Amino acid sequence: MLTPWEQPIPVLTRAPGLDKRTKRGIRMKISRRNQLVAGALGAAMLLAPTAAFADATPSPTATTTTTTAPTTNKPTADQKAAYKAALDAYRVALKAWQQTRDSDRAAYKTALAAYRAAIAANKASRQQIDATFNSAVAAARAAYATATAGSPTAAARQVALNARVAAVAAATNARAAAIAALPTLPARPSVPTVAPKPTPPVKP
């Protein structure tokens, strides 16, 4: 069976005895048939590349992914026993480390308190020594002012001056002796160094 575009197109020939209305009807049928043939040809030309493209496109293939379960190695009895022994030793070492740290801290606090007390006592003693020295100097100056009041002779003025100088010298020597008699200041205690903390064993 021929397709619509393979069928021959009839040729319009004049037939004797046909009127104008009949000829016009024949022409309209032929024109309509030609339009159908042209439409069929166009549709075939449009569908042909689409079918070829569909045949050339490869179909996607499904990929499968396989996962393997992780293997776990359980520790043996010897490994468990070794870990337990190491853990016990670690706990003993940790306790000893904590005791040493606390003892060093307590000793440092005690030494620091004693150092601060010694500094405070030295400061108070020096203030007392300076107060005694200042009082002696003030008394020597007052005695000199009293001795030279009015119109003393040159000899009396010299005697008063010598007495003032001697009193100041005696106060200076007493001050130096008192400072030398003070207790020696202790050195400031240093912060204790903490040893590295023991490392716990790794669990098998």
Average pLDDT over residues 161-181: 96
- In this structure, the answer to whether residues 38 and 96 fall within a common structural domain is no
Secondary structure of residue 138 in the 3-state scheme: helix
- In this structure, the answer to whether residues 86 and 16 fall within a common structural domain is no
- In this structure, the answer to whether residues 86 and 176 fall within a common structural domain is yes
C-alpha count within 13 angstroms, C-beta hemisphere, residue 11: 1
What pLDDT shows up at residue 107? Answer: 97
22-55 pLDDT, tens digit per residue, is 666 667 776 677 676 566 665 556 555 444 444 4
Per the prediction, the chain carries an average pLDDT of 82
- In this structure, the answer to whether residues 86 and 141 fall within a common structural domain is yes
Cα separation, 156 vs 164, in Å, equals 12
- In this structure, the answer to whether residues 101 and 38 fall within a common structural domain is no
- In this structure, the answer to whether residues 81 and 175 fall within a common structural domain is yes
pTM, two decimal places: 0.54
Q: In terms of pLDDT, which residue wins out, 33 or 8?
A: 33
What pLDDT shows up at residue 73? Answer: 79
What pLDDT shows up at residue 51? Answer: 45
Q: In terms of pLDDT, which residue wins out, 201 or 41?
A: 201
Domain count, the chain: 2
